[in-house]
Amino acid sequence: MTTPAGSGSGFGTVSWWGLSPAVDLQAESAPVDPDLQADTEHGTPDLNVLLLGSTDGRHLLQTLARAALWPQRRFQFYVLENNLEAVARHMLIFSLALEDPEKMGLQEKSETFLEMWGNALLRPPVAAFVRAQADRLAHLVPEPDRLAEQLPWLNLGALKFRERDALEAVFRFWAGGEKGPEAFPMSRLWDSRLRHYLGSRYDARRGVSDWDLHMKLHDRGARVIHTREFRRWRDTGVAFELRDSSAYHVPNRTLASGRFLSHRGERIAARGYWGDIATGPFVAFGIEADDDSLLRTSNGQPVKTAGEITLHNVTEMFREITAWRRPRVAQGDPEQVRGDGDGSPEPAGPALESFTVHFLSLGSAQTLHHKSCYKGRFQLLYVACGMVHLLSPELGACVAPGGRLIVELAQYLVDLRQEQLQGFSTKVGELAQTAGFAPHPGAKPSETLARFYKAGDSGSGCMDLTVEPGTPPPEVLVPPLGATNPPSEDLTQPLEGRVPPSETLNLSSESQASPSEALAPPTRSQFHISNL
């Protein structure tokens, strides 16, 4: 069996963590004009951000953590993913980040986040937290009134009814609707996926791991990733080992996703792991730090690992979010205090009203401009590297004149060679220009993000360009890997015979006729990569 290296299959078709460091979206956006964008009820300017494929909420959390450094604004985050499991992960991550400090301490919260977010296997206490939160969310999703009362920062109004049903089914699976590890045998699925990816190189996987780390990730700027932690993640899927290694044995169900496969001529629904097995979750929080001492080297080697830097950055981020959310009664802010019956002041919980996360319907990127409420609405548009094919004039019409565009580049996709990385960056520039954007002249050089701005009212003129709107360039995109080279049976868990489909993906007769609305289309595999 030959190796598929160079095909991009190591990054799978579902993205669970980002491939660029977390950024403060407020720092990336253009200044908001209070006279034009002020909220008439609160007198606070809005910052409207549209994010395509942000996957793990890192940019949103980083923006909230840095909010105290900027003039007060109300954040309106509009998040568009291509699978409902990613939406569910967003909700779970935010539920953890906003957990009451009296119920969960800072250290416990940070460690729980790292394991839940980046580990294939969990410790029993973390798995219990996931089950409890998933059960709570499963009961809230079908009840809009209770959802608005308990999670006022969340808005699911743009999701279709079938998407909400499928979202509820995802939470019920996480909550343990199917008992026992065999419901999602993560270790076996991970090993099968690794064997399928490496092929004849499987027995030399340690050498392959070292080569990818030292000759690719280190050379591209991620030198703090330690050999030991990278090998461990490649072998087991455990990126952050905060306790004894024997403590990690419960499958992380939040990394499960469903898709339709062809089996003996029939189309069946299956559950498996189709995420990243090549780069790992170290890039998002583990290769940059405000504290320069964390990046210090000794004898040419970093003194801190990516896991240690990730834990520090996440802990500080949650600390800042907690401080920002505290009612500012001491400052005497009248908007943050309301009186009760006897005239004494009472905290009004400002942070829960200071931002809202709106989840948009899957596949709606090309139709947003049809709704007047979205045309020219956003001051900032973020597009992940797996969704650049959606960057079009129609999407550009949703960005206000003078708005900014950030595109995640493929710097840390280890399967890509340098010439392919350069070709991808060039194609991103062409797509951005087609959508009505120009390179930002004042942007600092970056190999992980490409920055653009929308000059003037280019929404009408951009439709006259020669590239057909909404058509992905053939040089960048290819058909899904699963359509040409379906995974072997070892890589999946058939839903039939284990649990009724309604308990997993809500595969009703209607959704079977339109599986693209319930299952995740490819992301990382949508790059044109020639075989070695």
**Minimum mean pLDDT range among 7-16, 77-86, 162-171, 229-238:** 7-16
pTM score, two decimals? Answer: 0.82
Tokens 């992905």, residue located: 472
User: Is 249 within 8 Å of 327 (Cβ atoms)?
Assistant: no
Q: Residue 108: its pLDDT value, please? A: 96
pLDDT over threshold 80, residue 532: no
pLDDT per position as a tens digit, 102-143: 999 999 999 999 999 999 999 999 999 999 999 999 999 999
Taking CA atoms, 105 is separated from 216, 315, 322, in Å, by 37, 10, 11
Q: Residue 499: its pLDDT value, please? A: 36
pLDDT per position as a tens digit, 445-497: 788 999 999 976 543 333 333 333 333 333 333 333 333 334 444 445 544 33
Of 522 and 263, more confident: 263
Q: In this structure, which amino acid lies at residue 393? A: P
Q: Residue 13: its pLDDT value, please? A: 87
User: Is 506 within 8 Å of 269 (Cβ atoms)?
Assistant: no
SS3 at position 400 = strand
Q: What is the dihedral of CA 94, 503, 150, 285, to 10 degrees?
A: 0
In the chain, pLDDT over 90 holds for what percent of residues? 66
pLDDT per position as a tens digit, 457-470: 543 333 333 333 33
N-term to C-term CA, the chain: 14
User: Is 17 within 8 Å of 233 (Cβ atoms)?
Assistant: no
Winning range, highest mean pLDDT, from 29-38, 328-337, 433-442: 433-442
pLDDT per position as a tens digit, 387-397: 999 999 999 99
Q: How far apart are CA 466 and CA 486, in angstroms?
A: 35
Q: How far apart are CA 489 and CA 146, in angstroms?
A: 41
pLDDT over threshold 50, residue 336: no
211-219: average pLDDT:
96
* CA-based nearest residue to 84, from 218, 315, 257: 257
The residues, ordered by sequence, that sit 6+ positions from 196 with a Cβ below 8 Å of its Cβ are 9, 487, 488, 490, 491
* CA-based nearest residue to 366, from 396, 386, 394: 394
Could you tell me how far CA 387 lies from the centroid of its own chain? Answer: 12
pLDDT per position as a tens digit, 35-93: 554 444 556 789 999 999 999 999 999 999 999 999 989 999 999 999 999 999 999 99
> 451 forms bridges with which residues in the sheet?
406
